[in-house]
Amino acid sequence: MRLSKRMEKMQDRELLRLMELAEAPDMISFSGGFPSPQTYPIAEIKEALTEVLDLHGYEALSYSSTSGYLPLREKIAKRMNKKYSMQLSAESVIITSGSQQGLDMCGMLFIDKGDIVLCETPSYVGALNAFKAYGADFIEVPTDNEGIIPSELEKILSEYGERIKMAYVIPDFQNPTCRCWTAERRRAFMNIMKDYDIAIIEDSAYEEIAYEEMDRPSLISLDDKGQVINCGSFSKIFCPGFRVAWICSSESMIEKFLLLKPNIDLSSSSINQRMIDVYMDKFDLDEHIGKIIELYKSRRDLAVSTMKRCFPPNVTYEIPKGGIFVWISLPQGYNARELLQLALQKKVSFVPGGSFYTTSGKENEIRLNYSNMCEEKIVKGIEILGGLLRDFLK
């Protein structure tokens, strides 16, 4: 069969293979970016679902409106307004089937073949692959622990100008590094970007998984030009299986997404949206998020203290202040893909950092996920990795 040209760019099966391997029952997997199923509130979900079916069964099992279930959109707008002192209305929100769909729609909306997308270095491979399918080229903007470096951003913008259509950023507890941009960098970024006709995609998938208080204004709350498209999700703060997420932006931008959405899936799942809406009426989502944070924080502490005990001193990492990953650097010249082969033989998996770069191809880093594994396996897996690292780095 003659496949589309875009499939030429979709040949990289490495991550898929790794995720399949990671699912083997005897594997200690630090690979996925998954929430812990232990946090899923099954009893409460049952109660909410029963209420939805009893009271609105026919509507819940029908198609939803394209924009999504109005009471849920109102709740999302209200949460954003409360957190960031904004004044969004439900018309500024569209429900998507996972924020992955939101990201894909951003690609569809903005990217023509050869357009440039700016991204952090490194960045979330799922978004990069979605944009790649529309023919995007990428420029990685040099990024440090505080976020994108403003002077580097300015250089790139002045050099590539018109070809840049979109900037894709994850300011809160980024995947894969778990970096969190400082408030100063957020302001500097928006200040520079406001002079350019470039859409800013702010991916907030991990925004609520914060272990400590920090001043973190969302980019959309700093936007007075209607430039920011904020993608949020219930996946990490509730359950990914419902595939319910949202895009917030100016009303005129949301209208553009409304033109695309029916062509993709007609509407997001009606019953899942209503279930989450009723859950939020009957139970306290913030309290639930608090429990998730408590669990992940204790797993982070355990992962970090085990790494301190078992990893050679020339292996470095920042302690994450939120999110679900630790980003680990081996000394220059060592290749994490080679280490992975050794780890897989010992039934331990992780994602080599090289998978998260579009152009710069650094190979000495590791993304290690700690949210989705019991304490015993975290310790055992890191002890095994520590033993391997001591030999590998000799």
Ligand X SMILES: Cc1ncc(COP(=O)(O)O)c(C=O)c1O
Distances (CA, A) of 122 to 11, 112, 322, 356, 363: 20, 23, 17, 5, 11
Please report, as ranges, the residues that interact with ligand X according to CB under 6 A.
Answer: 33, 98-100, 124, 126, 170, 175, 203, 205, 233, 235, 240, 245
CB of 340 to ligand X, least distance (A): 20
CB of 1 to ligand X, least distance (A): 29
CB of 126 to ligand X, least distance (A): 6
C-alpha to C-alpha distance for 126 and 10, rounded to whole angstroms = 12
**How far from the centroid of its chain's Cα atoms is residue 111's Cα?**
20
Which is closer to ligand X, CB of 10 or CB of 55?
Answer: 10
> Structure tokens of 93?
């929100």
CB of 100 to ligand X, least distance (A): 3
Which is closer to ligand X, CB of 32 or CB of 386?
Answer: 32
Which is closer to ligand X, CB of 101 or CB of 227?
Answer: 101
CB of 268 to ligand X, least distance (A): 11
Torsion angle, alpha carbons of 328, 332, 335, 339, to 10 = -50
CB of 216 to ligand X, least distance (A): 16
Which is closer to ligand X, CB of 31 or CB of 221?
Answer: 31
Q: Which of 308, 299, 295 is nearest to 385 (CA)?
A: 308
Which is closer to ligand X, CB of 90 or CB of 105?
Answer: 105
Q: Which of 162, 149, 175, 147 is nearest to 116 (CA)?
A: 162
Which is closer to ligand X, CB of 45 or CB of 245?
Answer: 245
The string of DSSP codes covering 325-381 is EEEEEPPTT--HHHHHHHHHHTTEE-EEGGGG-SSS---SEEEEE-TTS-HHHHHHH
CA angle 36, 291, 124 (to 5 degrees): 45
CB of 201 to ligand X, least distance (A): 10
CB of 175 to ligand X, least distance (A): 4
C-alpha to C-alpha distance for 72 and 234, rounded to whole angstroms = 12
C-alpha to C-alpha distance for 2 and 356, rounded to whole angstroms = 29
- Write the single-letter amino acid at 170: I
C-alpha to C-alpha distance for 346 and 143, rounded to whole angstroms = 34
Which is closer to ligand X, CB of 235 or CB of 364?
Answer: 235
Which is closer to ligand X, CB of 100 or CB of 273?
Answer: 100
- Residue, CB closest to ligand X: 98
> Structure tokens of 289?
């998020």
